[in-house]
Amino acid sequence: MSGVRIIIFAKAPVPGSVKTRLVPALGQQAAAELARSMLKETILEATAAGVGPTEICGDPEPADPSWGSLLETDALELSAQGEGGLGERLARAAQRALGDGSPAVLIGSDCPSLNRHRLRDIAAQLEDHDAVIQPAMDGGYVALGLRKFHPSLFHGIAWSTEAVANDTVRRIIQLGWTYFIAEPLRDIDTPEDLKAEGLTA
């Protein structure tokens, strides 16, 4: 399983710019603090998985002062998401990582259940499959593992809709790739998600 790169797509936890759908329930500051806490936990679990390097692909770029000391650790490799829509940024990161010859797993930072054990399971499935997807309960996905790159997995996807995971799987099938679908997990986007995960809303 060694050599599987975990790429965490993350936004700097600046009040008013992250977890905005939680602001009515928590307020801007608390929503940003939750985002910071979840990112710290994601970094901890990704590095503890021990499957390969852990990379933060940040928005804004990791040298920006809005990150504070959050990324100041030797355990992380750092990169910038760059310009463009979500699909373009994900595609750019995936193509770069896969171009180095190792599998990659793209994840966010808002799924507390995506722990080190599940990340190890994804890495293990990548030994026998071209793609692994861990759907989110809202129809998106919380992790996408790849051994190959193709732009169709990222371009023309209706991001932030309930069709994302199904559309991605459909495109994987069209490519003729082998794939594995893991169990759906809940990410934290709404006050209802907070309640379902036992967090205070």
pLDDT confidence band for 200 (50 / 70 / 90): low
Residue type, 10: A
Q: Say what the pLDDT of residue 201 is.
A: 44
- Asked if omega into 103 is within 30° of 0 (cis), the reply is no
In a domain, 16, yes or no: yes
CATH code at position 101? 3.90.550.10
CB 15 within 8 A of CB 32: yes
Query: What is the overall mean pLDDT for the chain?
Result: 95
Across 57-64, average pLDDT: 96
Across 15-41, average pLDDT: 95
R_g of the chain, CA atoms, integer Å: 16
Q: Provide the domain limits for residue 127.
A: 5-196
Across 62-80, average pLDDT: 94
Q: What are the start-end ranges of the H helices in 52-163?
A: 86-98, 116-125
In a domain, 53, yes or no: yes
In a domain, 140, yes or no: yes
Residue type, 45: E
Q: Say what the pLDDT of residue 1 is.
A: 40
Could you say which DSSP state residue 136 is in?
Answer: B
In a domain, 74, yes or no: yes
In a domain, 36, yes or no: yes
Backbone φ/ψ region at 139: left (φ over 0), alpha (ψ -120 to 50), beta: left
Beta bridge partners of 78: 56
* Tally of domains in the chain: 1
In a domain, 201, yes or no: no
> Tens digit of pLDDT for each residue in 84-130?
999 999 999 999 999 988 999 999 999 999 999 999 999 999 999 99
pTM for the complete prediction?
0.95
